[in-house]
Amino acid sequence: LFRSGLLPSCPPEIPGYEVFDYYEAARHVGGDFFGYVPLSDGRLAVVLADVSGKGVSAALLMAALSADVRYCLASERDVAQAVARINESFLRGGWDDRFATLMVAVLDPTSHRVTICNAGHLPPLLRDASGRVLQAGAGLGGLPLGIDSDGRYRSSDVDLAPGETLVMFTDGVSEAMNAEQHCYGLQQVETVLAATSGGAAMIGRGILADVDRHVAGEPRSDDVCLVCLSRLAS
């Protein structure tokens, strides 16, 4: 119900780009959220969030957050200011000790520029055409939503060259556990990303397959959410 009602049924079609997404809840309803928000001037916001907790209560909070994200991004052009407004709304919601991490990446497909704002979320990874992997917007990490009413957020611009891919995910990917309770790890995500060429779908499936290899059939302890955005080689 929550998967079909709140999360995208398919990736958006953007001329000159390829988008791949994947979502798997650790339980029947999960606390991870991702979405695509069309904005003015043909821009598109890609949003990932991870709400604290599991089960129905986390899913309800995710639903409220989803609505706030869409409204604030559509009504405030400055991405960092929009995230600050989302944080204010989250705090007014009276969610007690709950919090959420949030990452917003706004693509302008005309200028091929992505504006990133991060509220305590894992930074996205950028793979260039040669296979070099960098953390995009490193050092931007503001506080998660729901922590501080005076939370300050900053944004950073990344230009996507032909053949480059931006990879965004929740900690259900990097913290996936095997039978020995070893985490998959952010370093392994970067290693697989560097070694996997191709567009968004090929890269996304390569990461997911390697996570499955690591987990080796163990039950998932956290939701898995992954979005890859590739600018097609010209």
Q: What is the pLDDT along the chain (234 residues), one digit of tens a residue?
A: 344 467 888 899 999 999 999 998 776 555 788 999 999 899 999 999 988 876 677 778 888 899 999 999 999 999 999 999 999 999 988 777 789 999 999 999 999 999 999 999 999 999 999 999 999 987 777 899 999 888 789 999 999 999 999 999 998 899 888 889 999 999 999 999 999 999 999 999 999 999 999 988 887 777 889 999 999 987
Q: What pLDDT is stored for residue 138 in this prediction?
A: 75
Instruction: Kindly report the pTM of this predicted structure.
Output: 0.92
Q: Which of 98, 112, 95, 118 is nearest to 47 (CA)?
A: 118
pLDDT on residue 98: 85
At residue 4, the pLDDT reads: 47
pLDDT value for 3: 45
Q: 81, 48 in Cβ contact below 8 A?
A: no
Per-residue pLDDT of 130-142, as tens digits, reads 999 999 987 777 8
Could you tell me the two tokens for 221? Answer: 């302890």
What is the rounded CA–CA span in Å between residue 194 and residue 203?
9
User: Which residues are registered as beta bridge partners of 21?
Assistant: 227
Angle of helix 200-215 relative to helix 186-195, nearest 10 degrees? 130
Give burial (CB, 10 Å; 0-12/13-18/19+) of 130: exposed
Handedness of CA 202, 205, 209, 210 (dihedral sign): positive
> What confidence score (pLDDT) does residue 191 get?
96
Separation CA 93–CA 65 (nearest Å) = 10
CB pairs under 8 A, 24+ apart, for 209-214? 211/173, 211/176, 211/184, 214/176, 214/178, 214/182, 214/184, 214/188
CA-to-CA separations, 214 to 3, 152, 192, 217, in angstroms, rounded: 25, 37, 12, 9
156-192, pLDDT tens digit by residue? 999 999 999 999 999 889 988 888 999 999 999 999 9
